[in-house]
Amino acid sequence: MSAAIGQSLPIAVGVLVSPLPIVAVVLMLVSERARANALAFVVAWFLAVLVLVGVVALLAGTAAPDDDGPAAWTGWLKVVLGVLLLFLSVRQWQGRPRHGAEPPAPKWMAAIEQFTPVKSAGLAVLLGAVNPKNLLLTVSGGVAIAAAQPADTTATVVASIVFAVVASAGVVTPVVIYFSMGARAAQVLDELKTWMIHNNAAIMAVLLLVIGAKMLGDGISVL
């Protein structure tokens, strides 16, 4: 169990620091339905990540390992995921705003003010389990869990829950700030939102580079 958690934990941290979901929660916390929307987003995010990483880990874990170690196909899958993550890293870095330029904001940000809890939950699923970057990261987490302890259902389920909890810490943080700081939270959340938007591309580029290199190296070591 510890092996599965240990192998997937760095990837979960990668999902944790993904800027756009955090910005989405911050924007919800300054909307008319702040509490309902933010809580709906956090719960849906956790469930989306948990289901995705759990399903991938369980499916990947059904393949029998080789006699001398993990199944060779897990190595090839890690290599493919690593290459895709490195490709996305390059794309993110190339698309970063140059010095003094204002980064373009996604269209959904302007619509969050009118969101309902159902729409907030839907956005969480899209950002957590459908967005290409987080999709690849979460799938990588599931593969890492399966490769570490194949055919161990208990370890897979526990590691998947730990992965989802860690991956959700980023979107939970603004909610904690909102409830704990009261009136002072508005300024803190606004500063957090501004910093995240301006540094989104650079954060994701470095993040994808590190995790992509890890997945590629892990895959090569299996082959």
The percent of residues above 70 in pLDDT, for the chain, comes to: 95
Average pLDDT (7-13) is 92
Annotate 33-70 with b (16+ C-beta within 10 A) or e (fewer). beeebbbbbbebbbbbbbbbbbebbbebbebebeeeeb
State the Cα–Cα distance between residues 215 and 83, nearest whole angstrom. Answer: 8
The percent of residues above 90 in pLDDT, for the chain, comes to: 52
Residue 153 has pLDDT above 80, yes or no: yes
State the Cα–Cα distance between residues 26 and 104, nearest whole angstrom. Answer: 17
Residue 106 has pLDDT above 80, yes or no: no
pTM equals 0.88
**How many domains, the chain?**
1
Using one digit for the tens of pLDDT, what is the confidence trace for 175-189? 999 999 887 888 888
Q: Return the pLDDT at 68.
A: 55
Position 62 confidence tier, pLDDT thresholds 50, 70, 90: confident
Q: Return the pLDDT at 80.
A: 93
Angle between helices 185-222 and 19-29 (to 10 degrees): 160
Q: How many CB atoms lie within 10 A of CB 176?
A: 11
Q: Which domain holds residue 135?
A: 2-222
State the Cα–Cα distance between residues 89 and 111, nearest whole angstrom. Answer: 28
151 versus 59: which is more confidently predicted?
A: 59
